[in-house]
Amino acid sequence: MLVRKYNLACVQAAVEVIDDPAQKDAVIARNLERSLRIAASAVARDEAKVIVFPEGWLQGHGFWRSPEDWKSICVSVPGPETERLAAFARRHQAYLAGAAFECDPSWPEVWFSTGFIVGPSGTVELRYRKLQEHNVEGLIPNASPCDLYSEYVRRYGEDSLFPVLDTPYGRLAVIVENDVNFFELVRIFTFHGAEIFLHPTAEDQGPQFPSWDQARRSRGYENLCYLASANYGQLSSGFYAAQAPRGCSTVVNFSGNSVAKIEGHGESLLVAPIDLQRLRYRRTEGRMNYPAQVKSELFGKEFAKRVLMPKDTGPATRQTGEETIRRLQETGVFAPVHVDKN
Amino acid sequence: MIAPYTAVAIQTIIRHVKDSKWRDAIVRENVYRSISMMEYVRHRFGAARLFLLPEFSLTGAEHVRSVEEWTKVALRIPGPELEPLANFARENQAYVGGGTMEYDPQYPGRWFNSAFLFGRKGELLLRYRKVNGADVQGHTTYSTPPGLYDLYVKTEGSEDAIFPVVDTPIGRLGLINCYDINFPEMIRTYAMRGAEVLLHATGEPYAPHREPWEMSRRTRAYENLLYVVSANHGGYAAQVHDDVFTDASGLIFQQRHGGEISPLGRSHGGSEIVDFNGHVVGQAESPGEALALGTIDISALRERRAELRGNILAQVRSEIYAKEYAKHRASPLNRWLKRPVQDKREGSQNTREVIERYLQDGVYVPPAGYELAALDAKKRRASV
């Protein structure tokens, strides 16, 4: 089956945050059912075939949580929650993508922010663990596969780092939140064949915050890809300002233009047409075909010369980040802060 | 502690060398017009410490000239034509950079699209040769260092010559040209080599509203926590007869030469200075002769880089990414190692071959109805 053009939806969800871990299952169930109803409206009204949910939309980011509480609110992927989503996907013959705080029961020592796609097969068809995690800033006590690289690759294989799912709606990849700021990651997915990036995100700056929006659009432009960002619309929690998330869910096309955007926060739904045929045609054109023009061999050499954030540190913490900055200053990648050279 | 200082992008109307017999006079005119604009800055706004001229700002870029003729039109770096710029730098205790087409006798039969930076003693601090451009776009015949990688590294003595960075009392400076800005890998490489201010000598021949490239500049600054100073040309003044130019209105005039027609339309202008948050701090909004002035605060940049939150540069999982880049085959090195570029279409052919390989290997998916390996003459012409 070949689909040239279809609708993609981003559910800008109003999320109930798990304030009390004892309420985990009830809160997740409410978030799940509410967002699936909105998704159902996108299917009924717009025949959406690919639907994206925000990062952490089942559990909510609780930056005040203790490491034990964080782990206790994790889900498994696959697990009961993805099964519920997969039932919807099978029924509507659609693909659903999101990201959740996840712990693999076979590796209970660590947990991840995990992107996934469930599809018409009724199963989890793709699982991706966020690489550019905020743990290095001390924001969240989880892990990135990079922190555990050798063990991670031993368990899941190297291909598990950058998975791409081939579907009638294009080759789909999931990147999560902060990942969008790292062009290398998006480029590598493009090298692996990705065409449509589904970007569950959780951005809590105000609507006037151009940097991430520019980064998002640059990723589309420089990789000739679509990128669909679904952000939180609103949070209900004893610890959060209700309108703290910026919303601004956006779909960016292969020219770097945002083809659809919600201009602010609040629970909302964004639907955008994806012209797969046009994307594929654009990629056959030579002019400004960056993924084909980039000197990958040259930059592979260059990137290997200096280590920025190292791998295999064990689950990274604020200390890992601070040590990295110190090392970058000592090795001259960063200049020391106060030097009088005038 | 480095005090904040003013940097200026000098947006000139480039007098274009069409007939090479007028080269010396036209280059001189470009040099002196640039200097008079820098003098104006000095008198009108006081001391600025860093000046940047656009790409190919001294000769123009004649896209249909033969390689042989280009080696005669292109300048040496350093060389007598650039000396007045070096003198200005010395006399004003300033840094002066810019772009020019370059010939280096070490590389016979080739020429480069280069950039230079003179320091406060009038000394040449940096020489950069464009890494991404004609070799993948195919609009002219200059060589890029990756195209002759092994020879280049051997001749220059080090890979560092491809991405030179100089540590100065006004920060660590690096140069890039035009199209380079759209490859985030370029700027990351510079950042990994310590660059804090990226001098982007550019030549963007598009309409005033050209958003993707502006976006690239801002994203590059934000994701690498560095300043980007972009000097674009404000238009072309073409030589109509002998020593007669069109007026300097910012229009690019249609010119016949060797049966081909050069571009018609306005320049993009839009020279700008972007800070390490990705915010524009100075901008010439339109084409024509103009100045973009902005403050560069290196101490603030260094403090920002020492902060953990949102420090993208310190968080890059570079080892894992380096491995993936090394595994992938996109645009190759050493394509013109043995035989220099002769025909400008070789650049687009280079990209064409990668695309066809991508379509075969599944990196790209052919659109419905697309014929694979359609490298027949007709399609090839369509791609140049």
Condensed to tens digits (0 to 9), the pLDDT of residues B122-148 reads 999 999 999 999 999 998 999 999 999
Tell me, letter by letter, the H, E, C secondary structure of chain A.
CCCCEEEEEEEECEEECCCCHHHHHHHHHHHHHHHHHHHHHHHHHHCEEEEEEEECCCCCCCCCCCHHHHHHCCECCCCHHHHHHHHHHHHHCCEEEEEEEECCCCCCCCCEEEEEEECCCCCEEEEEECCCCHHHHCCCCCCCHHHHHHHHHHHHCHHHHCCCEEECCEEEEECCHHHHHCHHHHHHHHHCCCCEEEEECCCCCCCCCHHHHHHHHHHHHHHCCEEEEECCCEEECCCCCCCCCCCCCEEECCCCCEEEECCCCCCEEEEEEEEHHHHHHHHHCCCCCHHHHCCHHHHHHHHHHCCCCCCCCCCCCHHHHHHHHHHHHHCCCCCCCCCCCC
Instruction: Tell me which of A5, A144, A308 to substitute to probe the interface with B (most B C-beta atoms closer than 10 Å).
Output: A308
Packing angle, helices A210-223 and A183-191, rounded to 10: 30
pLDDT at residue B263 tops 60: no
- B129 exposure class (CB count in 10 Å sphere: 0-12, 13-18, 19+): buried
Looking at per-residue pLDDT, the higher value among A211 and B354 belongs to B354
CB A249 within 8 A of CB A259: no
* pLDDT the model gives residue B374: 52
B-chain residues near A324 (CB < 8 A):
314-315
Alpha-carbon torsion (B80, B63, B61, B230), positive or negative: negative
Phi, psi values for residue A232, rounded to 5°? -55, 145
Per-residue pLDDT, A162? 98
Asked if residue B57 lies in contact with residue B14, where contact means CB atoms within 8 angstroms, the answer is: yes
> Which residues lie below 8 Å from residue B26, measured CB to CB, with a gap of 6+?
B15, B16, B17, B59, B60, B239
Closest residue in A to B188 (Cα) is: A303
pLDDT of B383 above 60: no
A286/B355 touch (CB, cutoff 8 Å), yes or no: yes
Mean pLDDT score, A114-143: 98
Among A190, A304, A309, select the one facing B314 at the smallest CB separation. A309
pLDDT, one tens digit per residue, over B333-368 is 999 999 999 999 999 999 999 999 999 999 999 999
Task: Establish if B381 touches chain A: CB-CB under 8 angstroms.
Answer: no
Note whether B318 contacts A185, CB cutoff 8 Å.
no
Query: Is B326 within 8 Å of A328 when comparing Cβ atoms?
Result: no
Mention every residue, 6+ apart, whose C-beta is less than 8 A from residue B91. Answer: none
Average per-residue pLDDT for chain B: 89
Q: Do A292 and B351 touch (CB under 8 A)?
A: yes
Grade residue B228 by pLDDT with cuts at 50, 70 and 90.
very high
Q: Tens digits of per-residue pLDDT, B279-329?
A: 999 999 888 889 999 999 999 999 999 999 999 999 999 999 999 999 999
Q: Are A6 and A273 in contact (CB under 8 A)?
A: yes
Using an 8 Å Cβ cutoff, are B221 and B274 in contact? yes
pLDDT at A339: 57
pLDDT, one tens digit per residue, over A99-111 is 999 999 999 999 9
Is a pLDDT exceeding 60 seen at residue B253?
A: no
Q: With 70 as the cut, is the pLDDT of residue B259 above it?
A: no
Contact flag B303-A337 (C-beta cutoff 8 Å) = yes
Q: What is the pLDDT of residue B373?
A: 59
Q: What pLDDT does B16 receive? A: 82
> Any chain A CB within 8 A of the CB of B121?
no
Q: Are A267 and A233 in contact (CB under 8 A)?
A: yes
Q: What is the pLDDT of residue B384?
A: 36
Give the mean pLDDT of B371-383.
Answer: 52
d(CA B133, CA B142): 9
pLDDT of residue A340: 55
Query: By the 8 A CB rule, do B55 and B201 touch?
Result: yes
pLDDT at residue B380 tops 80: no
Q: Give the sign of the dihedral formed by CA B345, CA A222, CA B160, CA B176.
A: positive
**Residue of chain A minimizing CA distance to B362:** A193
A193 in B contact zone (CB under 8 Å): yes
What is the average per-residue pLDDT within A124-135?
98
| A contact test, residue of B159, B325, B363 with most A CBs within 10 A | B325
Chain A CB contacts of B192 below 8 Å: 302-303, 305-306, 308, 333
> To the nearest whole angstrom, how far is the Cα of B33 from the nearest Cα of chain A?
31
Strands B165-168 and B171-177: antiparallel
Residue A87: name the closest of A32, A140, A139 by CA. A32
From the CB of residue B288, how many other CB atoms can be counted at a distance below 10 Å? 17
- pLDDT exceeds cutoff 50 at B249: no
Q: At what angle do helices A296-305 and B184-192 cross, to 10 degrees?
A: 20
Who among A294, A334, A339 is closest to B183 (CB)?
A294
B138: left (phi over 0), alpha (psi -120 to 50) or beta: left
Contact between A293 and B362 using a beta-carbon 8 Å cutoff: no
pLDDT in tens, B150-207: 999 999 999 999 999 999 999 999 999 999 999 999 999 999 999 999 999 999 877 6
- Could you tell me which residues come within 8 angstroms of residue A33 by beta carbon, excluding any fewer than 6 positions away? none
pLDDT band for A208, please (50, 70, 90 cuts). Answer: confident
Cβ contact B82:B100 at 8 Å: yes
- Environment class of B158 (CB within 10 Å of its CB; exposed 0-12, middle 13-18, buried 19+): exposed
The residue that leads in pLDDT, B163 or B251, is B163
Q: Return the pLDDT at A243.
A: 87
Alpha-carbon gap: B273 to the closest alpha carbon of chain A (Å): 16
Q: What is the pLDDT of residue B240?
A: 54
The pLDDT score that the predictor gives to residue B381 is 46
Among candidates B162, B215, B368 on the partner chain, residue whose Cβ is nearest the Cβ of A256:
B215
Whether residue A81 is predicted with pLDDT greater than 80 in this model: the reply is: yes
Which residues are CB-contacts of B259 (< 8 A; sequence separation ≥ 6)? none
Nearest beta carbon to residue A191 from set B310, B328, B365: B328
Cβ pair A296:B325 closer than 8 A: yes
Q: How confident is the model at residue B245 (pLDDT cuts 50, 70, 90)?
A: low
Q: What is the pLDDT of residues A20-31, one digit of tens each?
A: 999 999 999 999
A224-272 residue pLDDT tens: 999 999 999 999 999 989 888 999 999 999 999 999 999 999 999 999 9
Q: Do residue B355 and residue A277 have CB atoms under 8 angstroms apart?
A: no
Chain B residues whose CB is inside 8 A of the A328 CB are 305, 313-314
Distance, in Å, from the CA atom of B253 to the CA atom of B348, rounded to the nearest integer, reads 25
Residue A5 touches chain B, beta carbons under 8 Å = no
Of A171, A218, A299, the CB nearest to B219: A218
Chain segment B28-82, per-residue pLDDT in tens? 999 999 999 999 999 998 889 999 999 999 998 887 899 999 999 999 999 999 9
Interface of A with B in 210-249 (CB under 8 A): 210-211, 214-215, 217-218, 221-222
Q: For residue A288, what are the CA distances in angstroms to A180, A292, B123, B279, B376? A: 21, 9, 36, 25, 21
- Cβ within 8 Å, pair B354-A292: yes
Taking residue A34's Cβ as centre, other Cβ atoms within 10 Å add up to 17
